Amino acid sequence: MTSKSMLLSISLAAAAALASGAVSARTEIQNKGSDTLVNVAQSWAEQYGKINPDVAVAVSGGGSGTGIAALINGTVDIANASRKMKDKEIAEAKAKGHDPVEHVVGYDALAIFVNKSFPLDSLSIPELAKIYGRGGGATKWSDLGITIPGCKDEIVVVSRQNNSGTYAYFQEAVLGDKGKFRQGTLDMHGSKDVADLVEKTPCAIGYSGLAYATDHLKTLCISTEKGKP
């Protein structure tokens, strides 16, 4: 897909001051959130440790919503997210005495993955909506005129859990503001879980950040309408 999601690191003012100030004893900064950002965050943590060995940055994933919730509750210093904080979340943080600050650290392309046996190189956004949307009507690949070798025809729809910023962005970009996901999707905890399942399942389709594309998957081109570039 050509659409891009925003990647954010959200920190508390106190945490930012701690990270930039001198410390007399080894300090640990807790960083949690988006699976899309977890690999690059770990790299940042390693590089930061080289220039400031008195500070350890502990990085974990779990999804944008999980990281933001932990930031609101004061159990982490930095939350990684592939979406902006909601007004409600900002209000909750401020009610607990926290003042979250958003830093845009990059943009990521959302990729649509299918098994290597998938016979086409592209799908359209309306076709994705038929597959993923509630009442979309496409439960079998034959509903879209597609036959996949080694597949029993039923579409294995792989998604993310609803605490994922990638989930929220896909919902907005593909299903629309009022669109809902169909029931019966396989909701994975992390982006790598999506890629691993699609790789092993001929009938599957899934989505995640482009960083999880591999030679063992097919990454589809996505058009705004069927038959268009």
pLDDT bucket at 99, cuts 50 / 70 / 90:
very high
- Pairing of β 27-33 and β 78-81: parallel
pTM for this predicted structure: 0.81
Flag whether pLDDT at 14 surpasses 80: no
Give the pLDDT of residue 171. 96
pLDDT the model gives residue 229: 72
Confidence at 108, pLDDT banded by 50, 70, 90: confident
Burial bucket for residue 55 (CB in 10 Å: 0-12, 13-18, 19+) = middle
Over residues 125-184, the pLDDT tens digits come to 999 999 999 999 999 999 999 999 999 999 999 999 999 999 999 999 999 988 999 999
* pLDDT, average across residues 19-41: 77
Question: Which domains, ranges and CATH numbers included, belong to the chain?
Answer: 4-108 (3.40.190.10), 110-223 (3.40.190.10)
Q: Which residue has the higher pLDDT, 91 or 20?
A: 91
Question: In 58-150, where does DSSP find H-type helix?
Answer: 64-73, 87-95, 125-132
Over 50: is that where the pLDDT of 13 sits? no
CA gap 93, 161 in Å, rounded = 23
Q: Give the whole-angstrom CA distance, residue 196 versus residue 226.
A: 28
Say what the pLDDT of residue 10 is. 77
* Average model confidence (pLDDT) across the chain: 90
CB 4, CB 107: distance < 8 Å:
yes
Determine the pLDDT at residue 158: 99
